[in-house]
Structure formats: structure tokens, C-alpha cells
Amino acid sequence: LHEKGWGVDVVSGGEMATVQAVTGTLENTLFNGTYKSVEEIEFFMQNEGGHISIDNRYEIPMLEAAAFKLGRQQPVIMRINLDVGAETHPMVLTTGYDQQFGISIGFAEEALKQIYDAPSLLFSGIHVHIGSQIKDPERYQKAMSECAEFLYKHRAAIQAEVVFDAGGGFFSPYAGDEVDHELKVYADAIHTGIQEHWQDNYRVMIEPGRALVNNPGVILYTAGALKDDRGEKPYILVDGGMSDNPRPAVYGSEHKLFNISSGKNGEDAMYAVSGRHCESGDLLVKEAMLPSDTESGDILMSTSTGAYTFAMASNYNRVPKSGVVAVSSSGVVELVNRQSFQDTFINDI
């Protein structure tokens, strides 16, 4: 992605260090998030970081102090919180007046004055992120229209290239039968919204992480015990669970599951597929349709797991994290080593 000119949205020092190690620079990087430590801010600036998205007024003097200390003119954008009626799961809703993200539009003018009065900060534009798994492109049009209206009203405060960061959250199907838009549909909505109030040159940033990597990713599980004494649905217990994919437990998410072991000829039957952890909520799929001759040792493939699985993985119950490989027409490339038992306590003192 770096070689193709893509940038990266980071929210922690660990993510910054990863990008720095891979690309050698943070120049094409946006530092986002609700909490930014002084250490993270200075690391970002010292490595020629691109834009910083200001989430709250508390950050403004911190950013000014760090930039002044380092003799840097730091481009910043301001994340504002709009209520555009985004319809999605409440756990992935990131806008609205009862959410923790961004500066409420009613306080944005006062925050902008603070930014403008900070001599080491260069105000560049507006950032909004309305949520994840947004199906309706018109929500983006409405949000960007409000952003453009605000920015046009305060255009005299702009001190660098004009940026509209439309966030991400473009819908990515999981069960395979939901509505799915081409990214161009979202792009058209974003530009239409901006151009309702802004006619000069501008740059758009988007954060389409899930929409890019989710569907190419799969997780492979090995079936262990089958319990057929649990009523209408037998249970299949697998060697992973909420430590490698917490989404079903946290969000109630559903993933398609396939038995990819050879020689399976049975008609589809319904199973409950459970993880290995000591939690009743560790249920990967409540109603999985799998061949009736599924047995212990079979390999089960969970689809659409390229996003918010490995990134959210843990060592709960001291279960080692799985390895990650990339498979393409060019071959197989190992990306992340599988953890050993000892790796699960390597940082313990």
C-alpha cells in the first residue's frame, strides 16, 4: 500500500512505530484518536508526521508545546462531532452528542480560534467519522455538506492545504447477502456534499480500512469435540475463539463458516460453533450450516475476518496468538509468527 501511495491512519505509538519501521517515514500518516500522550505526539512530529486530527480542546496546548519545542510547523485538522443519523450497531457508532469522539459542532468555533492562535499549528481542515458499517451513502453527503459549510464560514483561519477527512465506515458485507456498494458510490456522495458549500481546491482523505482488507481475510479453525447431547443443535468446539475473533462476543457479529476438509458429502445440518475459552459468550457462530458428516479434526474456515480480528486479538486464558500468512497467485508469504506457549508470558516480571 505504501508503494502505491497510500497513507495510514494511526491512533497509538505502537501503530506509528510499525509504520515507521516498514516505510521509514510518517510523512503520509494521520494521527487520530481521543487520547494522545506527549510521548506519542513528539514521536510523530520527530518523524515528520503528516496531519494530526485534534479530537478535543485539551490537546491543543499539548500539540502547540510539542511543535514549539521541536521547532516544527505542524499541520492539523479538527475532528467535529455531527449528528447525521448514522444507522449502525451502537458499538460502532462514532458520531452523535452522546459519543466520545470529536469536538461538538457547537464548540468547534471556539476550538478553531484556539488552533489559529497557536503559532506552531497550521489549521488545514475538518475531520469527521460517522461510524462503521454505514450502508447509506447519503449520510456521508450530509456530513460533508455540514463540514464544508463550517469550513467555508471560517475559511480565513485556513493556514495550509485544504483537507476534508471523511473518515471511513464504508459498509463491508459479512454474511454474504447484504447490500454492498462500490466505493465510488461513497466517493460521489462525499464530493457532492463538499461541493454544496466549497468550490475552491481541496483534498479528500478517507479511511477505508475494513472495506479494503475484511473480505480477503479468513481464519482457519480445527474442530475438536462434537457434543450432540445439547438439544436440536450439536456443538462443535474449535481451537480458537474470542481471543482471535472477539467480534461475535462484543458486537454479536456473524461470520460465514465452511468445512474445507476434503471428502465431505453430507447434507447441510445446523451446528453451534463454540470457542475454547472459559466464557459462555465465546460462541463464534450460533447457527452454522455445515455438512452433517463434519467430524473432529476437520478444518473450518471463518470468512470476512480480515478486519478487527488480529488487531483485537488477545492472550486470554494464555492462549497463544495464531500466525498470519498471505496467499496469492505468487505463493505463500508468512507475515506473523505463531506464538509459542512461552510467548504468552514473555513480558511478565
- Tell me, what CATH number does 166's domain have? 3.20.20.10
Residue 92 has pLDDT above 80, yes or no: no
| Grid cell for residue 83 | 449528528
pTM, to two decimals:
0.90
Say yes or no: 158 and 124 in one domain: yes
State which of 213, 244, 263 marks the end of a domain: 213
Domain annotation covers residue 3: no
Which helix (H) or strand (E) segment holds residue 287: the answer is strand 283-291
Domain annotation covers residue 2: no
Cα separation values, 154 from 38, 77, 125, Å: 29, 13, 10
Give me the mean pLDDT over the 293-322 stretch.
96
Cα separation values, 108 from 64, 147, 160, 177, 180, Å: 18, 11, 18, 40, 34
Residue 91's pLDDT band (cuts 50, 70, 90):
very low
CA–CA separation, 316 and 304 (whole Å): 22
Report the CATH number that the domain containing residue 338 is assigned in CATH.
Answer: 2.40.37.10
In whole numbers, what is the pLDDT of the chain averaged over residues? 92
Residues annotated catalytic, as ranges: 278
Say yes or no: 185 and 253 in one domain: no
Q: Are 47 and 20 in contact (CB under 8 A)?
A: yes
CA–CA separation, 78 and 64 (whole Å): 14
Give the model confidence (pLDDT) of 179-238 as tens digits: 667 788 999 999 999 999 999 999 999 999 888 899 999 999 999 999 998 878 999 999
Q: Which residue blocks in the chain are alpha helix, DSSP H? A: 13-23, 38-46, 59-69, 105-116, 138-153, 183-195, 209-213, 247-251
Q: Are 272 and 234 in contact (CB under 8 A)?
A: yes
Share of the chain above pLDDT 90, in %: 79
Give me the mean pLDDT over the 305-312 stretch.
94
Domain annotation covers residue 324: yes
Environment class of 346 (CB within 10 Å of its CB; exposed 0-12, middle 13-18, buried 19+): exposed
Higher pLDDT, 175 or 92: 175
Say yes or no: 199 and 225 in one domain: no
Say yes or no: 192 and 286 in one domain: no
Residue 333 has pLDDT above 50, yes or no: yes
Query: Which pLDDT score is estimated for 106?
Result: 87
Domain annotation covers residue 62: yes
Say yes or no: 238 and 151 in one domain: no
Say yes or no: 269 and 166 in one domain: no
Give the model confidence (pLDDT) of 1-33 as tens digits: 889 999 999 999 999 999 999 999 999 999 999
Say yes or no: 280 and 300 in one domain: yes
Query: Which pLDDT score is estimated for 51?
Result: 98
Share of the chain above pLDDT 70, in %: 94
Query: Which pLDDT score is estimated for 84?
Result: 64
Query: Which pLDDT score is estimated for 231?
Result: 79
Residue whose C-alpha cell reads 506473523 in the numeric block: 336
State which of 155, 186, 213 marks the end of a domain: 213
Say yes or no: 270 and 310 in one domain: yes
Give the model confidence (pLDDT) of 26-55 as tens digits: 999 999 999 999 999 999 999 999 999 999
Q: Total domain count for the chain?
A: 2
Range of the domain at 273: 219-345
Residue 105's pLDDT band (cuts 50, 70, 90):
confident
Query: Which pLDDT score is estimated for 89?
Result: 45
Give the model confidence (pLDDT) of 241-288 as tens digits: 999 999 999 988 889 999 999 989 889 999 999 999 999 999 999 999
Give me the mean pLDDT over the 293-320 stretch.
96
Q: What are phi and psi of 41, to 5 degrees?
A: -60, -45
Give me the mean pLDDT over the 56-70 stretch.
98
Query: Which pLDDT score is estimated for 279?
Result: 93
Say yes or no: 228 and 156 in one domain: no
Say yes or no: 144 and 282 in one domain: no
Query: Which pLDDT score is estimated for 195?
Result: 98
State which of 213, 242, 257 marks the end of a domain: 213
Say yes or no: 240 and 316 in one domain: yes
Say yes or no: 75 and 123 in one domain: yes
Domain annotation covers residue 1: no
